[in-house]
Chains A and B, each alone.
Chain A
Amino acid sequence: MSQALEIPSRPAIDLFGALKSGALAAIVAFGLFSLLIGVRTDQGPTGALQIEPRLIALGVICAVAFVGGFARALLAGERLDFASYVPEQIKVAAAQVGRYFGLALLAFALIEPVIFYNNRYILDLGILVLTYVMLGWGLNIVVGLAGLLDLGYVAFYAVGAYSYALLATSFGWSFWICLPIAGFLAACWGVMLGFPVLRLRGDYLAIVTLAFGEIIRLVLLNWQSLTGGPNGVSGIPRPSFFGIPFADEENGFAATFGLEYSPTHRVVFLYYLILALALVTNWVTLRLRRLPIGRAWEALREDEIACRSLGINTTTTKLTAFAMGAMFGGIAGSFFATRQGFISPESFTFSESALVLAIVVLGGMGSQLGVAVAAFAMLGAFELFREFSQYRMLVFGLAMVLIMIWRPRGLVATRTPSVFLGKFKEVPAEAVAEARQ
């Protein structure tokens, strides 16, 4: 090349352009919110509906949009480099913390009931978060590893919950017998869903799985004689400590161990139960990743045709991924049933599937730690904003958008290889990104 490349100099501040951009943002905001926020229907003195304009609120929103657009255009040339403001020592320390973050999180999870023994609310929240961590890890097998977008995951959760509820209430079987049965039944349903969708990928797969989730819910709702329909199943036996009930009686848990009776014992037990179940899910997943089946799942996500050319049976590989994910969903479901004592189809709506999928995507598909952090952040944030009830979803949506802008591959976007020849190295996000195209 004969001419040297010109390095673009930083443009002078373009005030007019910035004003224009601000005005544009304000106009868009006006268009969006003029009817949503600018007018409000209210009951008039005669009882009829009347429209009440709320110009101030609308004006504030437009002004905020204008300032936002103006500032964005002004700062567009400036690369905001926050990283350069952080001192080197803090960065090193952060890297150290990052390395042990998973372990620290686990340690916290283990001692949480001890710290918050007297805080029932935190304990319940912990159980809820761990349930979603387990669901996220289960769905991670299907979505993160095998790359099969499943929008109907809640169906397996429901199958597990109803399996335990019906077996326990009809036959009086104990939780520990029902747990594997519920997992097995959910896995069967996973295979059942897997068969018709073998040839589908991406959007089409998502639609069919979505429909599957709804079908299960509608069957539960309408099969009155078996599931009790909208009334659900109540009186589901609470778990016992390996046969010793948590009750204020002679052979109850407290009396057996010489403790004073407290209803918290059961909550703590439930907490450790779901923690153990979630950790088993994690252990199995990490183990499977290093086995041929796990590598085949990931290979399937990367390139299905290449898989077939290498003699991998893509049918069984997909079905095992569905079955595995469904099994953990089912086990989590039976935990849910025993914890609640009552289940109805209302607990298994599409929004549950969406929440679990959001946890997986937000956490970084395929990353165990990312999913755990995302579950913690999402449900934690849900609780945090409980007071602002009506703005909760707004904040939630905004946070999702921002995270997807800053970290489009999820919180933990790197992939840890399942085997190394030399020393440990992580696959950077870009390489994984390319593979997903």
Chain B
Amino acid sequence: MSASADPILNVEHLSMHFGGLIAVDDLSFAAQRGHITALIGPNGAGKTTVFNCITGFYHPSVGMIRLAHADGTTYLLERLLDFRIAKLARVARTFQNIRLFAGMTVLENLLVAQHNPLMRASGLTVLGLLGLSVYRHAESAAIDKAKFWLDRVGLIRRADDPAGDLPYGEQRRVEIARAMCTDPVLLCLDEPAAGLNPRESAELNELLLGMRAEHKTSILLIEHDMSVVKIFDGTAADVRNDPKVIAAYLGVEDEEVEQVEAEVGL
């Protein structure tokens, strides 16, 4: 990873305890602005726990999570309530097991994502209830934005279908489009390629790279699928041959434990 001095996300000494269980132990990393950073690890390594800490669903036991916007404003995410992280710090996320509003249409899903700007435009509902044009303009702008993202993920023809009716791969894309409708500076994707076939994975790659290039969105993702991860850095072989990675995924021989632990720095 290129050493840029402009990290968007700084995670320092993050630990998360659930009673006696230590899910995340003293994790530190930084994600650079405008980069796609991947968090890899075997099942149960605590990747999703880290995501939940970053997006405010958990309050970390120890540690600091600092998010810096391009204009220099910084937010300490561990101190914000979950919905404020999305609203103020503009961190959006998707879920490992897709969480769409299944009974609502795809378009409605994308409009719910624009709740806060629309709420302001509707004068906290009062102006909207009176049917003033301020709100009508805001709503048609919101629909245009939703249309743009639906077009981007190639689902414009499904706009009026209930989200729950879409096939799995399309639901994933709707979830990403929904997250992008919140205008995030950091997009956290939890295993976006899980359950996708190779063609869909390739489309996803293109989409993510395009989003990074066009919308200056930094992306943090959890992924097992190295075919998704590798293109971002071109160092898949390096990753794959890294003894630490091998040790984490495959374990090591008993006699090597101490040696690997010393290398990893335990």
Per-residue 0/1 for B76-118: is the Cβ within 8 Å of any A Cβ (1 yes, 0 no)? 0000001111110000110100011111110110011111101
In the bound assembly, the distance between CA atoms of A308 and B128 in angstroms comes to 23
List residues of chain B with CB within 8 A of the CB of A398. Answer: none
User: Is B83 a contact of A306 with CB atoms below 8 Å?
Assistant: no
A314 within 8 A of B: yes
List residues of chain B with CB within 8 A of the CB of A418. Answer: 108
User: Is A312 a contact of B115 with CB atoms below 8 Å?
Assistant: yes
User: Is A311 a contact of B129 with CB atoms below 8 Å?
Assistant: no
User: Is A311 a contact of B83 with CB atoms below 8 Å?
Assistant: yes
A154 within 8 A of B: no
- B:25-81 near A, CB below 8 Å: 55-57
Task: Choose the segment among B159-167, B194-202, B204-212, B217-225 that binds chain A (4+ C-beta atoms closer than 8 Å).
Answer: B159-167
List residues of chain A with CB within 8 A of the CB of B147. Answer: 421
List residues of chain B with CB within 8 A of the CB of A308. Answer: 56-57, 82-83, 86
List residues of chain B with CB within 8 A of the CB of A60. Answer: none
User: Is B103 a contact of A432 with CB atoms below 8 Å?
Assistant: yes
List residues of chain A with CB within 8 A of the CB of B86. Answer: 308-311
Which of A287, A422, A431 contacts B102, CB < 8 Å?
A431
A19 within 8 A of B: no
Chain A's closest residue to B146 (CB) is A421
B143 within 8 A of A: yes
A99 within 8 A of B: no
In the bound assembly, the distance between CA atoms of A310 and B86 in angstroms comes to 6
Q: Chain B nearest CB: distance from A6 CB in Å?
A: 29
Chain B's closest residue to A315 (CB) is B83
User: Is A431 a contact of B103 with CB atoms below 8 Å?
Assistant: yes
A13 within 8 A of B: no
Chain B's closest residue to A295 (CB) is B112
Q: Chain A nearest CB: distance from B89 CB in Å?
A: 10
User: Is A427 a contact of B103 with CB atoms below 8 Å?
Assistant: yes
Evaluate whether A417 and B160 lie within 8 angstroms (CB atoms) in the complex, with A292-B119, A312-B83, A435-B103 already known. yes
User: Is A415 a contact of B115 with CB atoms below 8 Å?
Assistant: no
Evaluate whether A436 and B103 lie within 8 angstroms (CB atoms) in the complex, with A287-B129, A291-B125, A314-B83 already known. yes
Task: Choose the segment among A67-75, A175-183, A297-305, A337-345 that binds chain B (4+ C-beta atoms closer than 8 Å).
Answer: A297-305
In the bound assembly, the distance between CA atoms of A311 and B156 in angstroms comes to 24
User: Is B100 a contact of A420 with CB atoms below 8 Å?
Assistant: no
A377 within 8 A of B: no
B15 within 8 A of A: no
B182 within 8 A of A: yes
User: Is B101 a contact of A311 with CB atoms below 8 Å?
Assistant: no
- B:122-139 near A, CB below 8 Å: 122, 125, 128-129, 131, 135, 139
Q: Chain B nearest CB: distance from A428 CB in Å?
A: 8
In the bound assembly, the distance between CA atoms of A301 and B115 in angstroms comes to 15
User: Is B112 a contact of A296 with CB atoms below 8 Å?
Assistant: yes
- A:247-306 near B, CB below 8 Å: 284, 287-288, 291-293, 295-296, 298-299, 301-303, 305-306
B173 within 8 A of A: no
In the bound assembly, the distance between CA atoms of A335 and B105 in angstroms comes to 38
Q: Chain B nearest CB: distance from A295 CB in Å?
A: 5
Which of B82, B115, B162, B165 contacts A295, CB < 8 Å?
B115
- A:365-395 near B, CB below 8 Å: none
Question: Which of B116, B147, B179 has most chain A Cβ within 10 Å?
Answer: B116
List residues of chain A with CB within 8 A of the CB of B105. Answer: 417, 419-420, 427
Q: Chain A nearest CB: distance from B86 CB in Å?
A: 3
User: Is B100 a contact of A303 with CB atoms below 8 Å?
Assistant: yes
In the bound assembly, the distance between CA atoms of A419 and B105 in angstroms comes to 9
Which of A301, A310, A313 contacts B182, CB < 8 Å?
A310
A88 within 8 A of B: no
List residues of chain A with CB within 8 A of the CB of B115. Answer: 292, 295-296, 310-312
Per-residue 0/1 for B140-165: is the Cβ within 8 Å of any A Cβ (1 yes, 0 no)? 00010001000000001001111011
Chain A's closest residue to B184 (CB) is A311
In the bound assembly, the distance between CA atoms of A313 and B83 in angstroms comes to 6
Q: Chain A nearest CB: distance from B64 CB in Å?
A: 21
In the bound assembly, the distance between CA atoms of A415 and B95 in angstroms comes to 26
Which of A288, A295, A422, A427 contacts B111, CB < 8 Å?
A295
Further contacts, 18 of them, CB under 8 A, given A292-B118, A306-B95: A287-B131, A291-B128, A291-B129, A296-B115, A298-B104, A302-B102, A302-B104, A305-B95, A308-B57, A308-B86, A309-B86, A309-B93, A311-B116, A312-B83, A420-B105, A434-B102, A434-B103, A436-B103
